[in-house]
A and B are shown apart, each in its own frame.
Chain A
Amino acid sequence: QVQLVESGGGLVKPGGSLRLSCAASGFTFSDYYMSWIRQAPGKGLEWVSYISSSGSTIYYADSVKGRFTISRDNAKNSLYLQMNSLRAEDTAVYYCASEARPYSYFDYWGQGTLVTVSS
């Protein structure tokens, strides 16, 4: 069955960096478009970044543009999010999610990894 497993979350100081990973299994990862979506404690869902199946097309939310970098390794069935210059407002659970069709809906989600930015 489809599985998305995030890792790499934790406590980091403001201005610090963190790299999240998402390991995919149970489907042909290279055929799928992927996104990172986050949810601050007690808040709603916020889309963060998108990468096409080949990695050639990438988008970011304005709130993370210039600080976060999305990437993928189709040979390793893995998605990544490099987060730099972290701020308190980046504190959230970060989910990776898949799309079979670009610019549509997220059919599978990981369980999420918590990122806490605090001094």
Chain B
Amino acid sequence: SYVLTQPPSVSVAPGQTARITCGGNNIGSKSVHWYQQKPGQAPVLVVYDDSDRPSGIPERFSGSNSGNTATLTISRVEAGDEADYYCQVWDSSSDYVFGTGTKVTVL
């Protein structure tokens, strides 16, 4: 089965840049999507198809994908960005796969 690995936690100071990685075998050949989930709330799509943003998502959220690693970058981090973040792909053998999740803490 296809596995997506994320760091358990990332800490960042307000105004700085947070980078969350998502590792998977040849993930660069797949479309990667990212979700933000705040405590007690449903996930929200923040980046799809590697680097596209849904309407209403700030430009501070961006994504990239190459080789064995996809990355979600949050620029000029704000307190409201504190949340869990999950990457996700579709794999023909494993269907829908979510990453292990990363908790972003704003210091």
Contact = CB atoms under 8 A, between A and B. Distances in A.
Interface stretch (B21-29, B40-48, B65-73, B74-82): B40-48
B4 to A, nearest CB: 10
Contacts of B95: 47, 50, 59, 61
Interface size class of B (residues with CB under 8 A): 20 to 34
The secondary structure that dominates the B interface is strand
A104 B33 contact: yes
A11 interface: no
Interface stretch (A22-30, A71-79, A108-116): A108-116
Contacts of A104: 31, 33, 48-49, 90
A35 B98 CA distance: 14
Contacts, number: 52
A45 B33 contact: no
Given A44-B86, A44-B101, A104-B33, A109 B96 contact: no
Interface in A94-114: 95, 103-107, 109-112
Given A44-B99, A45-B43, 16 more contacts: A44-B86, A45-B35, A45-B98, A45-B101, A46-B98, A47-B95, A47-B96, A47-B98, A59-B95, A61-B95, A103-B90, A104-B90, A105-B31, A105-B45, A105-B48, A106-B43
17 contacts: A37-B96, A44-B99, A45-B37, A45-B86, A45-B88, A50-B95, A50-B96, A95-B42, A104-B48, A104-B90, A105-B48, A106-B33, A106-B35, A106-B45, A106-B88, A107-B48, A109-B44
